Copies of this chain bind each other. A is one copy, B any other.
């Protein structure tokens, strides 16, 4: 890999000229341009991006900070981000927080000092305490060389902030799912397996669940809300316990698909028939939902689009000069009925992209 100096010498022109040719920035005579291009090609010249960043305050690099790659959800989001980033000539710096806020803050600082142009963040900053509020407001003021480093959050939006977000209305989706179980499937004793209580989306889903019960005039029972931890096994364990203790329930609404898959496996194992005795609804519609039997009714979240949308949002921010107030893009979910709520559902793999 050679540098611009070598190219300039070999082509017998000035460094400025080489730069102009490589960036098509100003008019250069055809002959010179041609010569420079040839030499550059021969030498396999590629502009050093460290130097470009240093000079121009642009790195064409963005950071993507997610909680964990093992959450299939984020893998799809990441693919969406990557698609658009590629198209726009951005490279992705990837990191995982594993739900650790301290780590998240470290990562953000580190990325800013790497001069990324922007950050896409799945934040774990759910708290209302002063420390968290300070962090969130600092996020809106990240900068390098006097230029803002814009942040776009995934899944949920910070309140009272200028930070853009691409979100899902989880409350509404949960409400819809539970209402469906009540009205369409005729269930009343609906268990909810939730995410860890600190999780923002988890709380939204609980709210939606409760509102649906309330609107249907079904009294809420706090012992019907069981906390899971994202994993398949936690869903399995909860449902198995429920069955073994003989508690009556005729439906389960899970805060994610992994736990819902666990719930299905538990029912199958105990001879509880789905959907006759227990109907099950998940959340996210990851590919595993189509794989289990019966297949899982779920709330389809446009994960790939979520990623694309976040990157597009970021890209817009990067291109606009004037600062703007917070813009929140809300993506629609779609309710997908399958065998875990529909009797005699005709299984079909054709639409599975996996």
Contacts and interface: CB of A to CB of B under 8 A. Distances in A.
B114 A232 contact: no
A255 interface: no
Contacts of A233: 349-350, 352, 354
Contact of A69 (B59, B79, B261, B292): B79
Interface stretch (A50-58, A205-213, A312-320): A50-58
Contacts of A353: 70, 231
Contacts of A342: none
Given A54-B48, A92-B93, A349 B114 contact: no
A47 interface: yes
A92 B91 contact: no
Interface string A9-26: 000000000000000000
Interface in A236-275: 236, 258, 261-262, 265, 268-269
Contact of A46 (B51, B54, B109): B109
A101 interface: no
Q: State the oligomeric state as a number of copies.
A: 2
B232 A47 contact: no
B69 A78 contact: yes
Interface residues of A, number: 58
A95 B92 contact: yes
A354 B232 contact: yes
Contact of A143 (B1, B109, B231): B1
A175 interface: no
A276 interface: no
A49 interface: yes
A142 B1 contact: yes
A102 interface: no
A291 interface: yes
A261 to B, nearest CB: 6
6 contacts: A48-B54, A49-B114, A50-B53, A72-B72, A79-B96, A236-B349
Interface of A: 1, 44, 46-51, 53-54, 59, 61, 69-70, 72, 75-76, 78-79, 82, 86, 91-96, 109-115, 142-144, 231-233, 236, 258, 261-262, 265, 268-269, 287-288, 291-293, 347, 349-350, 352-354
